[in-house]
Structure 1
Amino acid sequence: MSGSPPAGLATFGLLAPLTPVADRTGSPGPLDDLAEASAVPDLDALWLRDLPCVPDGDEDAGQGTDPFAHLSLLAGAGVLPPVVGIASVVLGTRHPLVLARAVATAQAHTGGRLVLGLGTGGKPPMNAALGLRGRTIEEFATEWRAVRAALAGRLDSGLVAGHRTTPTPPVYLATTGAERWRAVDGDADGWMAFLGDERAFDDVHAAMERVSARRMPVAVRADVIVREDARGLTLHDRGRVVGSLDAVGDLLARWRRHPAVAHLMVNVRSSRPTEDLLALRALSS
């Protein structure tokens, strides 16, 4: 990841959109993220998620604008930080050639700042709605290789790709375990992980590096709900954190100093999410 944090400190990015805790139902308009990105100075990265649908009443309702269209809008407004990313496209939701074209467009519009996260699965109801339920590890590996080939313009059918991705952006594998990393022989430019139990994180990270036989950049995601009346800190699955501002700041500081973590992407939901994002960045420095 780009950025110039103090030595030994991971860079800090926003996973948009920032969301008031009292408003989880409405879908944010494209300008919501534009205002948030403009209001947060000196971010190292801006990440957009790809959620085509969520269950009714889900905490992620309203988080699902199209990330590629959204990045093009932000790029045109000239408010992008050094790195922009997709966290992440679930494999199988877009044909590899269609995905490669979207990536090439976003890479061109953002001046080569893109990092592409490819996920191994989202929320089970979303997977079912998209026809992705019950896929095998072999199907995942085949889809991964097809996307990698399409991004590189390697087509075996005599066709010419309708895009040119120059340079090809780094592709991070978003997964919770090492099984899928082994299935693609470590063929990823980085790992996208969830904040959680540090010992489990270290075990998976070590297993992945054994497969790849190299050190790799790791981006860790935290979905933070700030509640000033909270006592202590609660960690949930898939990077969900609930706690007071100070407690969450202390947690993020530990992760930013973890020797394996290159970047921390943070989504904030609170009564004043922009201000709390800035506070968390300061508290974790």
Structure 2
Amino acid sequence: MTTVESTIDHRIFSAGRLSIGLTLPLLHAGAIVADFREQVALASLADTLGFRALWVRDVPLNSADYPDPVGHLDPWVLLGALASNTTQIALASGAIVLTLRHPLHIAKSAGSVQTLSNGRFVLGLGSGDRPPEYAAFGCHAEARRERYRAHWETVAAALGEVPRVIPDLRPADAPEFMLLPRPPLPVPMLAVGSGGQSVDWIARHSIGWMTYHREPEIQRSRHSMWRAAVERLPAPAFRAFGVAMRLDLSDDPHEPATPLSLGYRAGRHALLALLDDMRETGTHHVALNPASRRPVRDVMAELAADVLPAFHG
């Protein structure tokens, strides 16, 4: 029988502890083109250095109007490459756009990554926040909340302990379908952003809530709201809280922290203090998005040598 201790989500999210992951692609500040062969090599290095998770984004379309000019690989293609080039680190989607993909395709892809990675995948799901993309895919942005819930139900059924396929239509002569191969472990499902849902809905259906970095007071307020929703569950349960945070790691280890959009510029001592405060206030995982002028491998090496041991020991 599968236990919490045997699943990959427990290595990322654990009560009273904080783990540290990385968001791909790993680029120096100002870079807008990623060499994805190098990204796979960096992912393998992150695995060796002891980072707990690699996060992959789902960016279906680009536009000159969007703030992120980086071209992202299809997440399932990249996750397949990562599964084949790493051995220990968790692989997580942050997040598959649940509302713009058919849920059975998502379930099939998630099960495939879980199989290739030998149970190291966490399926993070979001709703997307760009209304013009909905139109491009023939969907109405106003329906995203309902689509999110309906698609979540279909994915959860297909990936659960007793998997079952919920078809869109069921003609009288339709057979019972299944998704094969069955992955070695059920795929944990994580809400990334709110998806237009209440925190109570997220607490009932997800292993946790992953959100963007915000100012400390705002983040504490959101965390308090989340803890209250978890405490309202009908039975006591652990639900994770994670944060994605941009980081410009200074080469001066004593440089104090300076707020940036979605994160901080800081030396490692200030970073340690920030992360320790996040752990004390109930954050279970931080997905760092390093973006500095320093070589990426140097930043990874410093984090692995001087930051990870304080939290992964």
TM-score by length of 2: 0.76
State the AA in 2 paired with 1:208: A
Q: Say if 1:233 and 1:244, in contact at 8 Å, map to a contact too.
A: yes
Q: 1: distance between equivalents of 2:87 and 2:141?
A: 35
- 1:275 is matched with 298
- 2:99 is matched with 92
What is the aligned counterpart of 2:239 among 179, 200, 216? Answer: 216
- 2:111 is matched with 104
Q: 1: distance between equivalents of 2:225 and 2:265?
A: 26
Q: Say if 1:8 and 1:259, in contact at 8 Å, map to a contact too.
A: no
CA deviation vs aligned residue, 1:106-150 (integer Å, no higher than 9, x gap):
011001111110113234444454435222533322222122123
Q: Say if 2:83 and 2:91, in contact at 8 Å, map to a contact too.
A: no
Q: 1: distance between equivalents of 2:178 and 2:110?
A: 13
Q: 2: distance between equivalents of 1:277 and 1:61?
A: 23
What is the aligned counterpart of 2:224 among 203, 212, 219? Answer: 203
State the AA in 1 paired with 2:56: L
Q: Say if 2:248 and 2:290, in contact at 8 Å, map to a contact too.
A: yes
**Is 1:263 equivalent to 2:285 in the alignment?**
yes
Superposition deviation, residue 185 in structure 1: 6.9
- The alignment's C-alpha RMSD in Å is 3.1
Task: Describe how 1:130-169 pairs up with structure 2 within 5 A.
Answer: 130=137, 131=139, 133-152=141-160, 153-156=163-166, 157=170, 158-163=175-180, 164-169=182-187
Q: 1: distance between equivalents of 2:153 and 2:13?
A: 34
State the AA in 1 paired with 2:69: A
Q: 1: distance between equivalents of 2:26 and 2:201?
A: 35
- 1:35 is matched with 41
Q: Say if 2:14 and 2:284, in contact at 8 Å, map to a contact too.
A: no
Superposition deviation, residue 73 in structure 1: 1.5
Q: 2: distance between equivalents of 1:261 and 1:63?
A: 30
Per the alignment, in what secondary structure is the counterpart of residue 76 of structure 1? helix
State the AA in 2 paired with 1:194: Y
Q: 1: distance between equivalents of 2:13 and 2:199?
A: 29
In the alignment, structure 1 segments of 5+ residues that lack a partner are none
CA deviation vs aligned residue, 1:198-224 (integer Å, no higher than 9, x gap):
322223312431343432122221123
- 2:3 is matched with none
Deviates more, 1:66-75 or 1:56-65: 56-65
Per the alignment, in what secondary structure is the counterpart of residue 222 of structure 2? helix
Higher helix share: 2
Deviates more, 1:94-103 or 1:5-14: 5-14
Deviates more, 1:40-49 or 1:133-142: 133-142
- The 4+ residue runs of structure 1 with deviation greater than 6 A are 4-7, 227-231
- 1:187 is matched with 205
Deviates more, 1:268-277 or 1:150-159: 150-159
Superposition deviation, residue 275 in structure 1: 2.1
| Greater Rg over alpha carbons, structure | 2
Change (3 A) 1:208 1:8: closer
Q: 2: distance between equivalents of 1:43 and 1:185?
A: 26
The count of residues paired between Structure 1 and Structure 2 equals: 278
Q: 2: distance between equivalents of 1:279 and 1:58?
A: 32
**Percent identical:** 24
Q: 1: distance between equivalents of 2:208 and 2:202?
A: 13
Q: Say if 2:148 and 2:195, in contact at 8 Å, map to a contact too.
A: no
Superposition deviation, residue 16 in structure 1: 1.1
- 1:234 is matched with 259
Per the alignment, in what secondary structure is the counterpart of residue 92 of structure 1? helix
Q: Say if 1:178 and 1:207, in contact at 8 Å, map to a contact too.
A: no
Q: Say if 1:194 and 1:220, in contact at 8 Å, map to a contact too.
A: yes
